[in-house]
Structure 1
Amino acid sequence: MHRGRTYDHESVQEFWQYRWNQEDVYELEDLEDPLYVLGMFPYTSGNLHMGHVRNYAITDAYARFKRMQGHDVLHPMGWDAFGLPAENAAHERATDPQSWTDSCIARMREEMETMGFGYDWSREITTSDPEYYRWNQHFFREFYEEGLVDYRGAEVNWCPDCETVLADAQVVDPPADVDLDPGTEGVCWRCDTPVETRELDQWFFTITDYAEELLAGLDDLDGWPDSVTEMQRNWIGKREGAQVAFEVGGYGPVEVFTARPETIHGATYLAVGPGHDLARELAAEDATVAEYVETDEERETAGVPTDRTATNPATGEEIPVYVAAYVLDDVGTGAVMGVPGHNEHDHEFATAMDLPVRQVVEPASGSADLDREAYTGEGELLDSGAYTGRSTEAARSEIVDDLDAAEPDTQYRLRDWLISRQRYWGTPIPIVHCEECGPVLVPEDDLPIELPEFVQTRGNPLDEATDWTETTCPECGGPAERETDTMDTFVDSSWYFLRFLSPDREDVPFDPDLANELLPVDVYVGGKEHAVLHLLYIRFFARALADIGLLEHREPVDRLVNQGTVLHGGRKMSDTEGNAIAPHEYGAETTRLFVLSAAHPNRDFDWAAKDVGEAYDLQQGIYSLVYEYAEGIQLADRDGPAERYLDRELDRAVAAATEDYDSFRIHQAIDEIRRLTRLLGRYRAYDTPDAETYRAGLKTLLRLLAPVAPYLAEECWNMLQADRLIVEADWPTTASDIEAYDRERTLVTTVRDDVRDIVETAGIDNPERVELVVAPGWKYTAYETAREADEESIVSAVMSDETVRQHGTAAESYAQSLQREGLEPVLSRATERAELERASWLLEDEFDAAVEVREASDADDELAARAEPGRPAIYIS
């Protein structure tokens, strides 16, 4: 293998990939008790982008770190291979989704290997393989028989460009340059096309059955970011309130749900959604209502009046009934009591329809301007009959208890998971439709139902595959047609972490014994954008699998790490933005070092050439140190202050980096690597290095580096002729107690900064001697006494100590100076002196001056008087 003075990753990466594969360093044959580290597997888009690299560099660094600490680490990779974009890409390239997907996987796998990611490829899975998606069909059958599947007509979100249904979570806020028509909820998450509403027969997983458990379980997810659990909490949207029956003349009771039953005296109208049974009945009698209900386009008016009235059960008042599009048919009961004085949506509707706005809640302070906006806060009831003067909080339950037409109720914003997709490239739903029997499950023995040959068409290619769709009913044997909807790809990703445990099992979707032993996933890394698209679904799936007896764990992930976005020019880096940078453009090591050092994993950061250059310089600096050592430099056998300082600093670096890697502060671990690299360079240049100390420093540096720059670390480790591969080396440990290492570092940094300030301020061009004077013992006693005393009694507490008091006015003056907040802990007097003596070579090297550390008793009185704990007195001549 060629070795030059400059590190060239391309010249070594193929060799080290070969060695790692030859040694099977990432493959786990026996899953006894591994640490399960998982990055969210990628959609097969064609190339790795920087978002992928950042995600997988984080998981790879952590997996390598833990492997070096002695853990067996399960770190697999697979492919989220189904989905509409593959169909679109295949259409654009005049090919089929399978061929396009396979080519993408081959390309992305090669790029991952080039980046040095250490995966157990023996467990690789692809969700578009029949061997995988047959188990999606198996779960559908199991869920169906458990009562967790529903088939019904429903208004759905429809993307006219993708020609498919979208789940609620796939309807997102529009980009800044997209204007939506009034009433349009959002745009397609994939293509930014404004979403329409259609009514279709659809398949649902009844995730709402688990709404309360999913909500309660968030309190136990201590290892998840608060932002994610809060997003899920809001998406589930629990609301406690009451169901209230309003009697509608000529129809009967209409149930409404309200979270604020105490405002019922302010109800001035009743509104039902266009899909409500009452609206349908009225449409049959009234052409205006029919036109409003039946239109598929954006309705021009907020609502339409009807000839019916409803009786307010609290007041006996007759109020008008409206049909209004703002009342959603599948939220609550599909009907609302309109309280425009105290509900924003009701206020907007009442203003548009010129309906009365009645105030029944008085704010505790100030007044409400109901002409301008609704008052939605708490307060005191007014014009509310017997409840007038009661607080809203007290009246909330009292009214429900007293009113025969009301009963307590809890509802959720969460809606059932719509899994139907009108596209080819997905898991076929294992259902046939029979005119005699209705929807019928395909028998287990007939699974998998494989996709037919792809046919280019604008709509769903499965509708064109008549040889595939025409079949017989499993129940009656009569003619039937296969379901042509395929499953939402989030079904594929809701259980893939289980398949990694036993990817070759043909008899079961996953080994239940292994799953029960190894779950939950120890660390899961991915973007926060999946908080309700993916992470909520895997939590639902785990619970459903537990209830059908396949799994014991109801929470699938212990620790969740979100990675931020890579920006370029302030915008998300992407091909569509025209600002993407290929991961291989700067080389694997430079890219990995930069994306990991730029920010905390959960922070966004902007790609900057300067910072990339610093990552490149770091790798070259490390390589240069090892290269020169391997080529042969003069070494000594000595044990002076510089060696003792370096030994101590190695311990400090190991302790800090270990804590940083464990806490996913990988950017700070790289700071430690950078600091240690500079220190070793200074030690190398200061004097002839001690052979044992310098080699130990280089080996420690490389082991700290190995998780983030594996090619470089492995190449340098080989140049040192160290034992084994570095990927299999033991993580370094500390040789001494480093409890106070941060205070020691602070002391040295402070003293060096103070010396520089004195030299610069005094204009000393060539300092000859630097004298550091450690404070007398009584000042340390006074300082610790002050730290433990109440702020008001610091002086008296300090002066009550005889060893301090005997120093008279000097002691009293020092006690006065300590009467301030937040006295930080300091090193002991002996430790401070020892650390200054160890670090004295740094000052000698920087200023080319003799350095002496002295006790206060051996120094000039005036100089000694200036010395304080943690701040030695400094004299420069």
Structure 2
Amino acid sequence: MSERDYDHTAIEERWQTAWADADVYRTPDDAENPTYVLGMYPYPSGKLHMGHVRNYTITDAYARYRRMTGDEVLHPMGWDAFGLPAENAAKERDTNPRDWTMDCIGTMREQMRSMGFGYDWDREIATCTPEYYKWNQWLFERFHEEGLVERRDAEVNWCPNCETVLADEQVEGEAELCWRCGTPVVQRELEQWFLRITEYADELLEAIDDLEGWPNSVRQMQRNWIGRQYGAEIDFEIEDHGPVTAFTTRIDTINGATFFALAPDHPISERLAEESEEVRRFVEEEADPEGDEPNGVSTDLTATNPATGEEIPVYVADFVLSDVGTGALMAVPGHDERDHAFAQKHDVEIKPVIAPEPEGWDGETVPDAPDVGEEAYTEDGVLVNSGEYSGLDSETARARITEEIETAEESTQYQLRDWGISRQRYWGTPIPVVHCHDDCGAVMVPEEELPVELPEFVNTTGNPLDAAEEWKETTCPACGGPAERETDTMDTFVDSSWYFLRYISPDLETAPFDRDRANDWMPVDQYVGGIEHAVMHLLYSRFFTKVLADHEGLEHREPFTNLLAQGMVQLEGEKMSKSKGNTVSPQRIVEEYGADTARLFMMQAAQPERDFDWSEEGVRSTYAFLDRLKGMVDGFVENEPDGERNAVASYVESEIDATVAIATDEYDTLRFNEALRETQGLVRTLRQYAEYTEPHAGTYGHGLSAVVRLLAPVAPHLAEELWEELEGEGFVVEADWPDAEIDRDRVEKRRQLVENTRKDVRDIVEVAGIEDPQAIDVVIAPDWKYDALEIAIDSDADNLIGELMGEDHIREQGDAAADYGQDLQTEREALSMTLDPEEEHDALEAAAWLLEREFDAPVEVVRAEGADEEVVRKAEPGRPAIHIEN
């Protein structure tokens, strides 16, 4: 660090206080030009980690940018405050989850303030407060009124360690581990409350195509999770057990069904397990649905293939799942890879019934059957070995077979299952139901009695609400008789499925959200969070939004217009984690280098959706950049320069405009790293300008003002300090965004021309060993070469040189034209248009001072007509010739 290190601590504390005193981040309830920017709210674990810092710097920078462009921005923060980790932490520390959670929230709130995040803290929510979870309960009852809540017995995922039910999405990996603690998940039969998300399966799937602002990977993950399949259901008669329905997407292959398979938990399998030790052992001990190979056990049963009348063997197989399709399937080894592998292992017949469509097929002849002994043929084709259906194409056959076999009918199946929200834990929203001891059954708690608040925490095993006897005992709202409260609490994903609506009217006491305001502010314009929420949280939020649109007057059916899934912060290529001991403390970085340094380093390191490696060296370099910038502003304010508005100043002005325009484009699309690279390039140009000559005060001040505003979204504290030094009006967070219009394509060509020219001069100086250049001539190519280049780009002629020589003014150049034509022919696929000769001349003349500064020699930019013929011969469009006097 230099002797002039800026006092980041004092600057950051000063402006955080000033912003709070002025309430600059307060969002009006009614906005004419609303923009809603939101980061996924955090679980209050007690300390911010670098993933938090990156996520919330992204949203903060974008919110600040949009505010400076004139939008009224809603940028709130809250806490995903319920959940098992707090309950476990409270048990370990012999305290209660509420105190633990509130302490963590207090700590993290102060850490967020120290990072300078511009939140409207008046809108803060915590999902563990009765003021919030009352509305979870209200929504549950509204869903119930609309037939979207159901209570039923179900086999559920159970974590023995957490002692609670998990949704399918909370079971991770092939080993089926609890997403929270990593314990293997088991299956249990329990009575559960479900939200009927499957009622919206089609809309949830079809609307994905309209989510153009979402990453394709996230959209595909949601499609896969919903898993809609079109096919047919058809009955196979199993002796002594009657008809069993199977679902298939390939009923055209039914003549090749050579065995029938049941899920291990299919009712027939369970009955067989009581009668057969072999089946019991497989069902209870050997079945492994996540295994690499399909396994199964033979039964003594046969099933009748309804297409052929043949009796085929019945197996209990672990690759058949009870919650996919019907839990039973017809197996066609010749045309399904999994069935093929099973058939080979169990010596079951493999019969080909689909052949590839022959080239030039007439639609009438039946092709030869393929060899499927070693590998299944899984594509559509032409039916063979299929009786009256032989010779039909697969699509036609599917329609005819479905129509003509009596028990077959079209069916649509989904992988998506209803959302089980019951959790056997304390720290969650109590489900607002009482169970009458008489005949009323499960009864909703009256709306006027909401919220049903949690009782005092009891540190016990299992579900603490079961131990709260006094709280459990109540009266039935329907008959007044004795009743018991529901002791399950809601999955915390209920909390996060609508929290973005509560921010809009967080103090409203009569409804979960203000409908009119929500219709103004929603949907969220930019949402940012981790890819790990691609299925659960995002799918549930979409579901809630659609239900609220149908029944509560919300005008929008999707919650988030644009979604960014930010990448991870890594250390030496590995994700930071406490278990690996490779975390970096945000608090240390703030104390040592300042929040602005941490924010700027993260935003310039990579595009937001990419992973990147934390680098202490990079942090120090970022701090040094901010320190230099402050020194430049200090120097300008203390000693205002008195230079002329000359050609050099004009070049700098053009670079200021170019930087503003390009950085603005990049901020619009959240490519902060590109915007910051542009801004840092402008700082470098301004520094070079001041080192080369006495700068013009207006130009230099304009450049510094632009830099400060371009940096303000990412390094707001120092930007505020420098804005004040430059006598900017008001706070920089409320200043107007700089404005410039350019032709970006021409700017980039101009910059590339200048950079290539500087590089060529360096190469010549180095290769020729020129220690002290006396003069440098930069020679523009003759006009005819630009014409030849344009012809080459537009031409599709095989003989390009012949076409060029058809132009009189090019042919007149003789050997020079032939040589250049040959070069164009060779590079034809890579050719692109450059600036025209006059634009090249002007651009290089304006930038000549950069060469003069670097090589301490006079530079002259020469048109082709005034240069030596041998030098001109080397010049090409976009690549002028260089002549150096030694």
- TM interval, shorter chain, is over 0.9
How far apart in 2 are the matches of 1:393 and 1:736?
55
| CA deviation vs aligned residue, 1:356-390 (integer Å, no higher than 9, x gap) | 44443446799988666654344444432233454
| CA deviation vs aligned residue, 1:617-665 (integer Å, no higher than 9, x gap) | 22222122122223336x2230222211111111111111111111111
Question: Are 2:402 and 2:410, in contact at CA under 8 Å, matched by a contact in 1?
Answer: yes
How far apart in 2 are the matches of 1:219 and 1:22?
45
SS across alignment from 2:41: coil
Pairs within 5 Å for 1:811-830: 811-819=817-825, 820-830=828-838
Task: Please list every run of 5 or more consecutive structure 1 residues that lacks an aligned counterpart in the other structure.
Answer: 175-179, 181-185
| CA deviation vs aligned residue, 1:33-90 (integer Å, no higher than 9, x gap) | 3111111111111111111111111111111111111111111111111110111111
Deviation at 1:344, TM superposition (A): 4.0
Q: 1:183 aligns to what?
A: none
How far apart in 1 are the matches of 2:882 and 2:297?
86
SS across alignment from 1:321: strand
Distance 1:372 1:199, change over 3 A: farther
Q: 2:203 aligns to what?
A: 213
Deviation at 1:811, TM superposition (A): 3.7
How far apart in 2 are the matches of 1:304 and 1:797?
76
Question: Are 2:287 and 2:296, in contact at CA under 8 Å, matched by a contact in 1?
Answer: no
Deviation at 1:559, TM superposition (A): 0.8
Question: Are 2:255 and 2:308, in contact at CA under 8 Å, matched by a contact in 1?
Answer: yes
Pairs within 5 Å for 1:789-828: 789-792=795-798, 794-819=800-825, 820-828=828-836
Q: 2:364 aligns to what?
A: none
Pairs within 5 Å for 1:573-588: 573-587=576-590, 588=595
Distance 1:876 1:452, change over 3 A: same
How far apart in 1 are the matches of 2:80 and 2:405?
53
Mean Cα deviation higher: 381-390 or 105-114: 381-390
Q: 1:479 aligns to what?
A: 482
SS across alignment from 1:108: helix
How far apart in 1 are the matches of 2:282 and 2:422?
25
Residue 78 (structure 1) aligned with residue 86 (structure 2): no
Which residue among 245, 249, 254 is the counterpart of 2:239? 249
Pairs within 5 Å for 1:853-864: 853-864=861-872
Which residue among 624, 633, 645 is the counterpart of 1:626? 633
Question: Are 1:81 and 1:126, in contact at CA under 8 Å, matched by a contact in 2?
Answer: yes
Deviation at 1:450, TM superposition (A): 0.7
Deviation at 1:582, TM superposition (A): 1.0
Q: 2:857 aligns to what?
A: 849
How far apart in 2 are the matches of 1:413 and 1:351?
28
Residue 259 (structure 1) aligned with residue 252 (structure 2): no
| CA deviation vs aligned residue, 1:267-311 (integer Å, no higher than 9, x gap) | 233333344344455567x36489469959968995555554322
Residue 664 (structure 1) aligned with residue 670 (structure 2): yes
How far apart in 1 are the matches of 2:841 and 2:72?
43
How far apart in 2 are the matches of 1:319 and 1:804?
82
Pairs within 5 Å for 1:754-793: 754-792=760-798
Question: Are 2:604 and 2:676, in contact at CA under 8 Å, matched by a contact in 1?
Answer: yes
Deviation at 1:404, TM superposition (A): 1.8
Residue 875 (structure 1) aligned with residue 883 (structure 2): yes
Question: Are 2:261 and 2:317, in contact at CA under 8 Å, matched by a contact in 1?
Answer: yes
Deviation at 1:326, TM superposition (A): 3.8
Pairs within 5 Å for 1:431-442: 431-435=433-437, 436-442=439-445
Q: 2:69 aligns to what?
A: 69
Which residue among 519, 522, 526 is the counterpart of 2:522? 519
Which residue among 691, 711, 721 is the counterpart of 1:705? 711
Mean Cα deviation higher: 785-794 or 289-298: 289-298
Question: Are 1:116 and 1:710, in contact at CA under 8 Å, matched by a contact in 2?
Answer: yes
Q: 2:363 aligns to what?
A: none
Question: Are 1:275 and 1:293, in contact at CA under 8 Å, matched by a contact in 2?
Answer: no
Q: Please tell me the residue identity of whatever aligns with 2:416.
A: L
Residue 273 (structure 1) aligned with residue 266 (structure 2): no
| CA deviation vs aligned residue, 1:88-136 (integer Å, no higher than 9, x gap) | 1111222111011101111111111111111111111111111111111
Residue 608 (structure 1) aligned with residue 615 (structure 2): yes
Which residue among 379, 394, 397 is the counterpart of 1:395? 397
Question: Are 2:643 and 2:694, in contact at CA under 8 Å, matched by a contact in 1?
Answer: no
Mean Cα deviation higher: 548-557 or 481-490: 548-557
Distance 1:847 1:7, change over 3 A: same
How far apart in 2 are the matches of 1:872 and 1:294?
78
Q: 2:322 aligns to what?
A: 329
Q: Please tell me the residue identity of whatever aligns with 2:611.
A: D
Deviation at 1:349, TM superposition (A): 4.6
Q: Please tell me the residue identity of whatever aligns with 1:726.
A: V
| CA deviation vs aligned residue, 1:398-426 (integer Å, no higher than 9, x gap) | 32233222111111111111111111111
How far apart in 2 are the matches of 1:368 and 1:570?
48
Pairs within 5 Å for 1:294-693: 295=284, 302-350=295-343, 355-362=348-355, 374-435=376-437, 436-587=439-590, 588-632=595-639, 635-693=641-699
Q: 1:48 aligns to what?
A: 48
Mean Cα deviation higher: 198-207 or 612-621: 612-621
Q: 1:177 aligns to what?
A: none
Q: Please tell me the residue identity of whatever aligns with 1:865.
A: R
How far apart in 2 are the matches of 1:724 and 1:244?
73
Q: Please tell me the residue identity of whatever aligns with 1:23.
A: A
| CA deviation vs aligned residue, 1:767-816 (integer Å, no higher than 9, x gap) | 01011112223332333333233253644554444544444543444344
How far apart in 1 are the matches of 2:376 and 2:568?
38
How far apart in 1 are the matches of 2:136 and 2:373?
54
Deviation at 1:549, TM superposition (A): 3.2
How far apart in 2 are the matches of 1:463 and 1:353?
49
How far apart in 2 are the matches of 1:589 and 1:518?
30
Question: Are 1:775 and 1:855, in contact at CA under 8 Å, matched by a contact in 2?
Answer: yes
Question: Are 2:178 and 2:184, in contact at CA under 8 Å, matched by a contact in 1?
Answer: yes
Q: Please tell me the residue identity of whatever aligns with 2:838.
A: A
Distance 1:813 1:324, change over 3 A: closer
How far apart in 1 are the matches of 2:516 and 2:271?
55
Question: Are 1:197 and 1:296, in contact at CA under 8 Å, matched by a contact in 2?
Answer: no
Q: 2:178 aligns to what?
A: 188
How far apart in 2 are the matches of 1:670 and 1:624?
19
Distance 1:630 1:554, change over 3 A: same
CA RMSD across the alignment: 2.5
Question: Are 1:268 and 1:356, in contact at CA under 8 Å, matched by a contact in 2?
Answer: yes
Q: 1:31 aligns to what?
A: 30
Mean Cα deviation higher: 61-70 or 671-680: 671-680
Distance 1:627 1:264, change over 3 A: same
Q: Please tell me the residue identity of whatever aligns with 1:746.
A: Q
How far apart in 1 are the matches of 2:340 and 2:466?
46
How far apart in 2 are the matches of 1:459 and 1:350?
45
Question: Are 2:34 and 2:520, in contact at CA under 8 Å, matched by a contact in 1?
Answer: no
Mean Cα deviation higher: 829-838 or 751-760: 829-838
Deviation at 1:609, TM superposition (A): 2.4
Relative to the length of structure 1, the TM-score reads: 0.94
Deviation at 1:242, TM superposition (A): 0.7
How far apart in 2 are the matches of 1:542 and 1:254?
38
Deviation at 1:217, TM superposition (A): 0.5
Distance 1:794 1:304, change over 3 A: closer
Residue 102 (structure 1) aligned with residue 76 (structure 2): no
Q: Please tell me the residue identity of whatever aligns with 2:650.
A: R
Q: Please tell me the residue identity of whatever aligns with 2:233.
A: Q
Deviation at 1:707, TM superposition (A): 0.9
SS across alignment from 1:524: strand
Mean Cα deviation higher: 582-591 or 791-800: 791-800
Q: Please tell me the residue identity of whatever aligns with 2:856.
A: D
How far apart in 2 are the matches of 1:843 and 1:761?
17
Task: Please list every run of 5 or more consecutive structure 2 residues that lacks an aligned counterpart in the other structure.
Answer: 359-367
How many residue pairs match? The answer is 863
Q: 1:144 aligns to what?
A: 144
Deviation at 1:354, TM superposition (A): 5.0
Q: Please tell me the residue identity of whatever aligns with 1:710.
A: P
Distance 1:221 1:160, change over 3 A: same
